[in-house]
Structure 1
Amino acid sequence: MSHKRIPKRKAAIAVGGVAALGAAALLLPNANASQDDAAGDAGAPRTLKAGDASNLAAQLQNLLGDSLAGTYYDSARQRLVVNVANGDADAMAQATKAGAAVRQVDNSTSELAAAARTLRTKAAIPGTSWAVDPRTDKVLVTADRTVTGADWNRLESTVRSLGSGMATLKKSSGTFKTFVSGGDAIFAQAGGGTARCSLGFNVTASDGSPAFLTAGHCGVAAKEWADSESGQPIATVDQATFPGEGDFSLVKYDDPATEAPSEINAGNGQSVAINQAAEATVGATVLRMGSTTGLHDGTVTGLDATVNFQSETDPSGVDTVTGLIQTDVCAEPGDSGGPLFTQDGNAIGLTSGGSGDCTSGGETFFQPVTAALEATGATLGADAGGNGGAAGDDGAGVGDGAGAGDEQAGGDQAGGAEDPAAPGDDGQAGAGAGEQSGAGDDASGTGMDDGPALTGTR
Structure 2
Amino acid sequence: MKIRPTRVRGAAATVAASGLVATALVAVPAANATLDAPGGGVTTRSDTGGVAAKLAQRLGDRSAGAYVDQATRNLVVTVTDAKAAQAVRAAGAVPKSVARSGSDLKKVMAALKRDATVPGTAWAVDPAANQVVLTMDSTVKGARFTKVRSAATKQGAAVRTTRVAGRFRMFTAGGDPIYTGSARCSLGFNVRKGSEYYFLTAGHCTEAGSTWTDESGGALGGNAGSSFPGNDYGLVKYDSSPEDTQGGVTVNGQFQDITGAADATVGETVTRSGSTTGVHDGQVTALNQTVNYQEGSVSGLIQTTVCAEPGDSGGPLFAGSSAVGLTSGGSGDCSSGGVTFFQPVTEPLSAFGVEIY
TM-score with structure 1 setting the length:
0.70
- Report which of the two has the higher share of strand: 2
Is residue 211 of structure 2 the alignment partner of residue 234 of structure 1?
no
Q: CA-to-partner distance for each residue in 1:157-177, whole Å, 9 max, x for gaps?
A: 11111112x111101113111
Q: Secondary structure at the match of 1:69?
A: coil
User: In the alignment, which residue of structure 2 is the partner of 1:158?
Assistant: 151
Cα distance in 1 for partners of 2:154, 2:170 equals 30
- Distance in 1, Cα, partners of 2:11 & 2:47: 24
CA apart distance, 1:63: 1.6
Partner of 1:55: 50
After the TM superposition, which parts of structure 1 deviate over 6 Å for at least 4 consecutive aligned residues?
Answer: 31-34
Q: Do the aligned partners of 1:145 and 1:174 also contact (CA within 8 Å) in 2?
A: yes
Partner Cα separation in structure 2 for residue 278 and residue 150 of structure 1:
41
Aligned with 2:306: secondary structure?
coil
Q: What residue is the counterpart of 2:13 in the other structure? A: 17
State the shift of 1:358 in Å: 1.2
Q: Distance in 2 between matches of 1:115 and 1:358?
A: 33
State the alpha-carbon separation in 2 of the partners of residues 196 and 376 from structure 1: 23
Instruction: Tell me the SS of whatever aligns to 2:264.
Output: coil
Which of 325, 341, 344 is the aligned partner of 1:368? 344
In the other structure, the counterpart of 1:300 is 284
2:106: which partner in 1? 113
> Equivalent residue for 1:101?
94
Q: Secondary structure at the match of 1:39?
A: helix
Rounded Cα–Cα distance in structure 1 between residues aligned with 2:286 and 2:312: 20
- The answer for unaligned runs of 5 or more in structure 2 is 16-31
Match of 1:177 in 2: 169
Alignment of 1:43-442 (within 5 A): 47-85=42-80, 88-164=81-157, 166-189=158-181, 194-205=182-193, 208-228=195-215, 230-244=216-230, 246-256=231-241, 258-267=243-252, 269-311=253-295, 319-342=296-319, 344-381=320-357
Larger relative contact order, structure 1 or 2 (CA cutoff 8 Å, min sep 6)? 2
SS of alignment partner, residue 296 of structure 1: strand
Q: Secondary structure in 2 aligned to 1:17? A: coil
What is the CA deviation profile of residues 21-51 of structure 1, one whole-angstrom value per residue up to 9, with x for unaligned ones?
Answer: xxxxxxxxxx7678x75435xxxxx753222
Amino acid aligned to 2:204: H
Measured in 1, the distance between the counterparts of 2:99 and 2:37 equals: 31
Q: Determine the C-alpha separation between the residues in 2 that align with 1:135 and 1:47.
A: 22
CA distance in 2, matches of 1:282, 1:297: 14
**Higher Rg:** 1
Q: Which residue of 2 aligns with 1:446?
A: none
Aligned length: 339
The answer to whether the 8 Å contact 2:5/2:220 transfers is no
Instruction: Kindly provide the amino acid, as one letter, of the partner of residue 297 in structure 1.
Output: D
Aligned 8 A contact 1:144 1:355 in 2: no
Question: Is the contact made by 2:312 and 2:327 (CA closer than 8 Å) also made in structure 1?
Answer: yes
Secondary structure of residue in 2 paired with 1:210: strand
TM-superposed deviation, 1:145: 1.0
> Cα deviation per residue 1:379-418 (whole Å; 9 max; x = unaligned)?
113xxxxxxxxxxxxxxxxxxxxxxxxxxxxxxxxxxxxx
Kept in 2: contact 1:183–1:335 (CA 8 A): no
Q: In 2, distance between residues paired with 1:75 and 1:233?
A: 46
Shift of 1:54: 1.6
User: CA offsets per residue over residues 323-367 of structure 1, 9 Å max, x none?
Assistant: 11111111111100000001x211000000011111222221100
* Structure 1 CA distance for aligned equivalents of residues 260 and 33 of structure 2: 16
The answer (yes or no) to whether the contact 2:33–2:74 under 8 Å persists in 1 is no
SS at match of 1:173: coil
* Aligned-partner residue type, residue 17 of structure 1: A
1:164-198 CA-to-partner distances (Å, cap 9, x unmatched) read 2x111101113111112134121110xxxx11111
Cα contact 2:123–2:290 (8 A) shared by 1: yes
Instruction: Label 1:139 to 1:178 Cα distance change in 2 as closer, same or farther (>3 A).
Output: same
CA distance in 2, matches of 1:223, 1:294: 26
Aligned residues of 1:122 and 1:158 also touching (Cα < 8 A): yes
Residues 61-92 of structure 1: per-residue CA shift (max 9 Å, x gap): 2221111211011244322100002xx11111
**Alignment partners' CA distance in 2, 1:82 and 1:119:** 25
The residue type equivalent to 2:58 in the other structure is L
Which residue of structure 1 lines up, in the alignment, with residue 22 of structure 2?
Answer: none
Partner SS state of residue 117, structure 1: helix
